């Protein structure tokens, strides 16, 4: 359990709209039933009328709804202001090999940069750059470019080093990597937390909340199903699903249009296809889903296939609930399932 500052400290931060406390706590206002960020511009409540929470999840579970003025469920930004300039420089020249002294010359603290990339991408800054460059190289090989020329064009001093790097990330020799599917991975920020999106050049194959325990397992299964390699980056389908998710959470999206790629057993794919047929704002039981799949006795198997869904929200496994109406079994957490069901019911067109 997260330890919060004492209540008087939090209340004073709320009165002063202290942004340094952003993300440390949220304030529930008993008289209005909403919860806010510390920097909310709304009129401040009396001390006796507030409750403090360590997360938006805790505030939601306590029965408070998000404030419309400060939008506590919305991310403050995928990239902090102090890093924007560095990302601009990376985009202009991904082949630049940044040294710590160069980062300092550009007013970036190397330790802070490394920590941010490790926290948000799971790899160091330099590993991130190497993977980006390698992804570009794999793309060129897929289009028939010469291996030797590609290696030296992408900053590798030896062909053997390039071949080894390709094999580490794809699992196959460089000469064979052109035949392997590439899945681009990128974060998408949502009001319910960051999601990891994966896409090939044909559509979205992965969309999971990044704190889901099964995420690594799902990636391993996907790797076997698609015979693919993963690199950080983006493509038109990741851009499209990010745009559609933004509209979805605003309540303005009628249907997801981004192409989907879902590979599984015949039974799993049958379950996932039936999930796509559940209308927005409606829920069904696992028993009903088993009937729709054509196997009324396979309730438990249907539940497992439901949990194996790798494209959350778009393939709406959250719309399946217990026979008694209770919310059960959601990999992203029951608090998210509750939020999604209520969001869809409140935004029916």
Does residue 265 lie within any of the structural domains? yes
Separation CA 233–CA 132 (nearest Å):
7
pLDDT (0 to 100) of residue 318: 95
Q: How far apart are CA 170 and CA 178, in angstroms?
A: 10
Query: Coil, strand, or helix at residue 188?
Result: strand
List, in sequence order, every residue forming a beta bridge with 196; answer none if it has no partner. 187, 208
C-alpha triplet 312, 76, 339: angle, nearest 5°:
35
184 neighbors 155 (Cβ within 8 angstroms): no
> Per-residue DSSP letters for 51-115?
EEESSHHHHHHTT-EE-TTT-TTS-S-SS-HHHHHHHHHHHH-TT----HHHHHHTT--HHHHHH
DSSP 44: P
**Which secondary structure element, helix H or strand E, spans residue 204, and what is its range?**
strand 204-209
Give the CA distances from residue 287 to residues 281, 296, 313, 322, 330, in Å, rounded to whole numbers and listed in that order. Answer: 19, 7, 21, 8, 16
CATH number (domain holding residue 297): 1.10.10.10
Of the candidates 179, 208, 232, which is a domain's last residue? 179
| pLDDT for the residue 169 | 44
349: number of Cβ within 10 Å: 8
Q: Are β-strands 26-29 and 50-53 bridged in parallel, bridged antiparallel, or unpaired?
A: antiparallel
**Residues spanned by the domain of 14:** 7-66
Is residue 71 a part of any domain in this protein?
Answer: no
Q: How far apart are the first and last CA of the chain?
A: 40
Within this chain, do residues 347 and 252 fall inside the same structural domain, yes or no? yes
pLDDT single digits (tens) 131-174? 666 655 555 444 444 444 444 454 544 545 545 554 544 444 44
Whole-number pLDDT of residue 173: 47
Please count the helices (runs of H) and the strands (runs of E) in the chain. 15, 10
Total count of domains within the chain: 3
Considering the domain architecture, whether residues 213 and 272 belong to the same structural domain is answered as yes
Helix axes 81-92, 110-121, angle to 10 degrees: 80
Give the pLDDT score at 288.
94
Domain of 105, CATH number, reads: 1.10.10.60
148 in a structural domain = yes
| Structural domain ending residue among the three candidates 159, 179, 199 | 179
Instruction: Give the per-residue pLDDT at 123.
Output: 67
User: Does residue 76 form part of some domain?
Assistant: no
The verdict on 235 and 297 lying in the same domain is: yes
Does one domain contain both 224 and 280? Answer: yes
Q: Are 338 and 321 in contact (CB under 8 A)?
A: no
Q: How many Cα atoms occupy the beta-carbon half-sphere of 93 within 13 Å?
A: 7
Cβ atoms 50, 11 nearer than 8 A: yes
Phi, psi of 142 (to 5 degrees): -65, -25
List of long-range contacts for 342-348, beta carbons under 8 Å, 24+ apart: 343/249, 343/251, 344/280, 344/281, 344/319, 345/281, 346/251, 347/251, 347/252, 347/281, 348/280, 348/281
Task: Please say which residue of 128, 163, 179 terminates a domain.
Answer: 179
Which residues are identified as catalytic? 317
3-state secondary structure of 187: strand
Would you give per-residue pLDDT tens digits along the chain (349 residues)?
456 788 998 999 999 988 767 777 899 998 888 899 888 888 889 999 999 988 777 787 677 888 888 878 766 545 677 887 888 888 777 777 788 999 999 999 998 888 887 766 666 787 777 666 665 555 544 444 444 444 445 454 454 554 555 454 444 444 444 556 788 888 888 888 778 889 998 999 999 987 777 887 888 888 888 887 777 677 899 999 999 999 999 889 989 999 999 988 999 999 999 999 999 999 999 999 999 999 999 999 999 999 999 999 999 999 999 888 888 878 888 888 888 998 898 877 5
Say if CB 47 and CB 16 are below 8 A apart: no
């Amino acid at each position: 359990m997260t330890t919060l500052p004492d209540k008087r400290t939090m209340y004073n931060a709320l009165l002063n709209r202290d942004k340094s406390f952003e993300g440390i706590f949220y304030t529930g206002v008993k008289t209005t039933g909403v919860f806010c960020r510390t920097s909310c511009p709304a009129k401040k409540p009396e001390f006796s009328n507030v409750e403090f929470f360590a997360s938006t999840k805790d505030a939601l579970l306590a029965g408070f709804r998000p404030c419309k003025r400060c939008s506590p469920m919305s991310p403050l930004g995928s990239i902090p202001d102090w890093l924007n300039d560095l990302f601009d420089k990376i985009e202009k020249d991904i082949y630049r090999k940044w040294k710590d002294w160069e980062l300092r010359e550009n007013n970036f603290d190397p330790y802070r940069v490394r920590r941010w990339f490790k926290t948000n991408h799971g790899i160091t800054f330099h590993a991130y750059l190497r993977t980006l460059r390698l992804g570009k190289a794999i793309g060129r090989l897929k289009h028939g470019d010469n291996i030797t020329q590609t290696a030296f064009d992408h900053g590798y001093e030896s062909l053997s080093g390039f071949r080894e790097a390709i094999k580490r990330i794809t699992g196959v020799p460089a000469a064979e990597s052109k035949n392997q599917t590439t899945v681009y991975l990128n974060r998408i920020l949502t009001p319910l937390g960051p999601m990891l999106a994966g896409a090939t050049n044909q559509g979205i194959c992965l969309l999971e909340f990044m704190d889901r325990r099964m995420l690594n397992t799902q990636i391993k299964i996907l790797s076997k199903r698609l015979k693919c390699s993963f690199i950080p980056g983006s493509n038109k389908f990741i851009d499209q699903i990010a745009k559609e998710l933004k509209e979805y959470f605003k309540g303005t999206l009628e249907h997801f249009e981004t192409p989907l790629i879902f590979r599984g057993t015949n039974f799993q794919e049958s379950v996932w296809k039936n999930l796509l047929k559940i209308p927005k704002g409606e829920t069904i039981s696992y028993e009903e889903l088993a009937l729709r799949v054509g196997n009324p006795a396979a309730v438990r198997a249907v539940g497992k296939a439901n949990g194996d869904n790798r494209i959350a929200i778009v393939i709406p496994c959250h719309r399946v609930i217990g026979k008694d109406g209770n919310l059960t079994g959601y990999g992203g957490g029951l608090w998210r399932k509750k939020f999604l069901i209520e969001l869809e019911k409140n935004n029916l067109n």
